[in-house]
């Protein structure tokens, strides 16, 4: 209950701060709000709160929702910290902060819904601010293009989702997840409307999480948006979308998951192959990271595919480690490209080890983590998914996962080699002390989470 209040109030407070000329404190307010959000998740742990219960079960803050909210708030906290210096002018900063906060509120709704209407509301609250954020570099042509593209395709995806929800309502007569589940188990088989509806919902989600064959928008939008916004989309938006998807497919739609496992497996395999192969040909590092992000969506879809038998803690772990690694990579890319006058090619990274060793070290570790090299947390994350998929008996998918990991290593190494290639007459890329500490912190987190993976067994989920 507190979570939804905190996250929605946060956006309103930031907006008011702009009016009341309190721009100086807005950053502190954001951090405080997100810390409160994370704190309330810990306090409510295990309570299974159902806010506004007398109006019907709209939201439920069970451990699943709290865990995802916690991860989302921590990642947002890190995101605000990492990108603070990139929002240079104070005027737009408050607006953008407010938009981001509203989007986070949508993310909270999306992982805690207990009613399909709330799912749709969550998706929209999450997406609409991000459309604006994508186009927030008003004078840039590509940024406008990105916002436009994202909006149109996002709207189509939402339409799919809504149509799917409508059909499921038609089949079961309710939006409530529990009632739908009861109806389906009572009937014993899935009515045709239910199957079509859930397929449409799957397509809608596939758009949002950008898996093949619905991934086409992602590279363009990721490349066009301002880099800090790309980092937001690649981490927080994705985490929320996967949270929402896992909730639906681990409970209400789990009979559908069992019957259409092949569809999921094919989508996962296709995503991994397409994204990784195309990524090897990229010379723009932002686009390269965009494809890498799509390929990680493939892995996470593998986790959703096993949703009925797999515990969500493994998905949370994947989302968290992936978010940290990508946040580091995108922020560094932002620093480098700003310094290079907007150059985002892989060559822009040349000589980074001399120009800023801390940043180069952090990016190297985060790329190696994304590639799944032990002892970095990315290895554990991939391992958890792979072993669950293997237990599900999809050996060919495991082989695709492993082979594409080698391909992925190739393009990550391309960036790493660029960083370690000496460059004559290159100036230092200076970052503030706080920023430096953040890079160090991210590196430590990536290593610590590997050894801390056993904590997954300690927590009572």
CB of 269 to other proteins, least distance (A): 16
Burial of 276 (0-12, 13-18, 19+ CB in 10 A): buried
> Smallest gap, in angstroms, from Cβ of residue 407 to other proteins?
9
User: What is the H or E stretch that residue 402 is in?
Assistant: helix 395-420
User: What are the φ/ψ torsions at residue 423 (nearest 5 degrees)?
Assistant: -130, 130
Q: Which is nearer to other proteins, 84 or 311 (CB)?
A: 311
Backbone angles phi, psi at 460, to 5 degrees: -85, 105
Q: Round the CA-based radius of gyration of the chain to a whole number and report it.
A: 21
> Judged by CB, which is closer to other proteins: 325, or 386?
386
In whole angstroms, give the CA distance from residue 277 to residue 359.
Answer: 27
Q: How far is the CB of 368 from other proteins (least distance, A)?
A: 7
Rounded to 5, what percent of the chain is helix, strand, coil? 80, 0, 20
Minimum distance from CB of 367 to other proteins (Å)?
A: 12
CB 136 → other proteins: shortest distance, Å?
Answer: 37
Partners of 113 in beta bridges = 59
CB of residue 70 to other proteins, shortest distance in Å: 21
By beta-carbon proximity to other proteins, the closer residue of 98 and 408 is: 408
> Strand, helix or coil at 50?
coil
Pick between residue 158 and residue 356 the one whose CB is nearest to other proteins: 356
Q: Between 87 and 379, name the residue whose CB sits nearer to other proteins.
A: 379
Residue 100 CB, shortest distance to other proteins, in Å, is 35
DSSP β-bridge partners for residue 454: none
* Torsion sign across C-alpha atoms 449, 330, 33, 312: negative
Cα separation of 69 and 78, whole Å?
A: 14
Cβ distance to other proteins smaller for residue 150 or 384: 384
Nearer Cβ to other proteins (22/456): 456
Instruction: For the CB of residue 457, give the shortest distance to other proteins in the complex, in Å.
Output: 5
Distance spanning both ends of the chain, measured CA to CA? 19
Task: State in angstroms the smallest separation of the CB of 445 from other proteins.
Answer: 17
Which residues would be at the binding site for other proteins (CB under 8 A)? 368, 373-375, 379, 383-384, 386-387, 390-391, 398-399, 402-403, 405-406, 409-410, 413-414, 417, 420-421, 453-454, 456-457
Cα 237 to Cα 234: distance, rounded to the nearest angstrom:
6
Q: Residue 28: which H helix or E strand, with range?
A: helix 26-43
Task: Tell me how far apart the alpha carbons of residues 354 and 424 are, in angstroms, rounded to a whole number.
Answer: 10
3-state DSSP assignment of residue 252:
coil
Residue nearer to other proteins on the CB measure, 17 or 453: 453
Q: Considering beta carbons, is residue 187 or 417 the nearer one to other proteins?
A: 417
Return the closest-CA partner of residue 34 out of 62, 76, 86, 79.
76
Cβ atoms within 10 A of the Cβ of 134, count?
27
């Amino acid at each position: 209950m507190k979570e939804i209040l905190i996250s929605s109030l946060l956006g309103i407070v930031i907006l008011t701060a702009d009016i009341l000329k309190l721009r100086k404190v807005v950053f502190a307010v954001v951090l405080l709000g997100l810390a409160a959000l994370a704190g309330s998740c810990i306090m409510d742990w295990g309570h299974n709160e159902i806010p506004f219960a007398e109006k019907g079960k709209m939201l439920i803050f069970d451990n699943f929702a709290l865990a995802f909210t916690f991860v989302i708030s921590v990642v947002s906290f890190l995101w605000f910290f990492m990108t603070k210096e990139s929002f240079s002018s104070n005027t737009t900063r408050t607006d953008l902060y407010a938009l981001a906060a509203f989007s986070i509120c949508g993310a909270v709704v999306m992982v805690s819904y207990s009613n399909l209407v709330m799912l749709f509301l969550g998706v929209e609250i999450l997406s609409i601010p991000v459309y604006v954020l994508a186009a927030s570099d008003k004078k840039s042509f590509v940024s406008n293009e990105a916002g436009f593209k994202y909006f149109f395709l996002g709207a189509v995806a939402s339409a799919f989702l809504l149509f799917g929800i409508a059909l499921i309502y038609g089949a079961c007569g309710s939006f409530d997840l529990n009632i739908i589940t009861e109806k389906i188990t009572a009937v014993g088989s899935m009515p045709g409307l239910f199957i079509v509806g859930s397929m449409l919902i799957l397509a809608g989600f596939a758009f949002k999480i950008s898996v093949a064959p619905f991934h086409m928008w992602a590279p363009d939008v990721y490349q066009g948006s301002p880099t800090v916004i790309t980092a937001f989309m690649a981490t927080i938006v994705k985490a929320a979308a996967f949270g929402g998807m896992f909730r639906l497919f681990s409970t209400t739609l789990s009979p559908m998951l069992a019957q259409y496992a092949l569809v999921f497996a094919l989508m996962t395999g296709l995503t991994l192959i397409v994204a990784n192969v195309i990524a090897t040909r990229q010379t723009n590092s932002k686009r390269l990271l965009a494809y890498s992000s799509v390929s990680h969506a493939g892995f996470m879809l593998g986790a959703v595919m096993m949703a009925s038998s797999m515990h969500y803690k493994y998905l949370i772990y994947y989302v968290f480690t992936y978010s940290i690694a990508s946040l580091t990579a995108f922020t560094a890319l932002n620093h480098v490209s700003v310094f290079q006058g907007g150059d985002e090619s892989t060559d822009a990274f040349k000589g980074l080890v001399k120009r800023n060793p801390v940043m180069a070290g952090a990016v190297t570790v985060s790329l190696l983590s994304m590639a799944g090299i032990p002892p970095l947390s990315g290895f554990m994350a991939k391992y958890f998914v792979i072993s669950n998929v293997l237990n599900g008996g999809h050996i060919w998918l495991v082989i695709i996962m492993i082979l594409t990991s080698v391909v992925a290593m190739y393009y990550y190494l391309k960036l790493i080699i660029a960083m370690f290639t000496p460059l004559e007459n290159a100036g230092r890329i200076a970052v503030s002390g706080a920023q430096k500490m953040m890079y160090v912190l991210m590196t430590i987190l990536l290593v610590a989470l590997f050894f801390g993976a056993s904590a997954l067994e300690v927590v009572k989920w």
